[in-house]
């Protein structure tokens, strides 16, 4: 048992749920948040895990819930913001309502969460915010009119606030998982390369945040290499490769 406290959003399933269990197993006290109360309550049956339901699109509820967590558990050392949504079938055309919803949850929902913890961490001059985004946010992709742009905005936002928070001794980390088998990716009808389990993701996230203290945590290694190359390719080559191998 250590005296550290973690708050995880998007913790009712997938990566967030696995991360909550991993940190609890490592002796952290873990507050978990998402909308589906029944799922949160099942996860909170584990030792050291406590349920705090909320919707990340509700900024007031977020702030109130975060204050309650600090009150109940005494403090928060680390926040892992893992809430997110993806409707593949709605992404193939430009569906404005879908795009608004995805941006509302994936981008503005995370901003609401950061806003909820900002003054707490800056005042105590200590803390750590980790944002679960995606490597797909690094460059545009076909048939992804909402999800990829929402993650592009999030990657940029995370890198930007790194500079604003580090002055207050508050760390900011960017988590970029490759394909992880969750409800979110179960809707994909294509074979996902280098697919990994949520438990694998949780181990990598724990390692990156606690042991290696990296800014960017990107995994598995194959996805890290592919996306590092994608980031530096000239448009002509990137567009050729994506047209040939992805947009078929
Ligand atoms: N799976 C992958 O391959 C992969 C790869 C890269 C990045 N990611 C990112 O990883 C994060 C977690 O996704 P996942 O794969 O673990 O999928 P998931 O199992 O569907 O988890 C998504 C989580 O977000 C929560 N959520 C959605 N809308 C919310 C809202 N309005 N308010 C509060 N919580 C909300 C969901 O809980 P409720 O429905 O109970 O609210 C759920 O706990 C997402 O940000 C996703 O974009 C996933």
Q: What is the CATH number of the domain that holds 184?
A: 3.40.50.720
Confidence label for 248 from pLDDT (cuts 50, 70 and 90): low
Which of 11, 12, 14, 202 is the best mutation target for the ligand 1 pocket, counting ligand atoms within 8 Å of the beta carbon and taking the most? 14
Task: Measure the CA angle with vertex 120, ends 118 and 216; round to 5°.
Answer: 50
Which of 180, 184, 204 is the best mutation target for the ligand 1 pocket, counting ligand atoms within 8 Å of the beta carbon and taking the most? 184
| Domain count within the chain | 1
pTM attached to this predicted model = 0.97
Q: For 7-66, how does the pLDDT look when each residue is reduced to its tens digit (9 = 90+)?
A: 999 999 999 999 999 999 999 999 999 999 999 999 999 999 999 999 999 999 999 999
Range of the domain at 153: 5-245
pLDDT at 35: 98
For 192-197, what is the mean pLDDT? Answer: 96
pLDDT at 246: 85
Q: How far is CA 158 from CA 22, 150, 211, in A?
A: 24, 12, 20
Nearest CA to ligand 1 atom 20: 184
Tell me: pLDDT of 1 over 70. no
Q: For 159-182, how does the pLDDT look when each residue is reduced to its tens digit (9 = 90+)?
A: 999 999 999 999 999 999 999 999
Q: For 87-125, how does the pLDDT look when each residue is reduced to its tens digit (9 = 90+)?
A: 888 888 899 999 999 999 999 999 999 999 999 999 999
Centre of ligand 1 from the C-alpha of residue 205, in Å:
15
For 200-223, what is the mean pLDDT? Answer: 96
């Amino acid at each position: 048992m250590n005296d550290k406290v973690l708050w995880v959003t998007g913790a009712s399933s997938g990566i967030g749920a696995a991360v909550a269990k991993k940190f609890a197993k490592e002796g952290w006290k873990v507050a978990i948040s998402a909308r589906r109360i029944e799922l949160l309550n099942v996860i909170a049956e584990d030792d050291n895990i406590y349920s705090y339901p909320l919707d990340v699109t509700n900024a007031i509820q977020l702030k109130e819930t975060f204050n309650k967590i600090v009150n109940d558990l005494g403090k928060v050392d680390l926040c892992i913001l893992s809430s997110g949504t993806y409707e593949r079938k709605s992404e193939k055309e430009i569906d404005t309502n879908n795009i608004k919803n995805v941006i509302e949850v994936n981008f503005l929902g995370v901003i609401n969460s950061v806003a909820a913890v900002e003054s707490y961490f800056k005042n105590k001059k200590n803390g750590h915010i980790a944002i679960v985004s995606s490597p797909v946010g690094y460059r545009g992709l076909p048939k992804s009119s909402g999800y990829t742009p929402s993650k592009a905005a999030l990657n940029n936002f995370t890198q930007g606030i790194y500079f604003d928070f580090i002055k207050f001794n508050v760390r900011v980390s960017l988590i970029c998982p490759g394909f992880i088998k969750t409800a979110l990716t179960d809707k994909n009808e294509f074979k996902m390369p280098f697919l990994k389990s949520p438990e694998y993701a949780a181990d990598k996230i724990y390692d990156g945040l606690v042991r290696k203290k990296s800014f960017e945590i990107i995994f598995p290694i194959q996805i890290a290499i592919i996306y590092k190359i994608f980031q530096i390719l000239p448009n002509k080559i990137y567009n050729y490769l994506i047209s040939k191998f992805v947009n078929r």
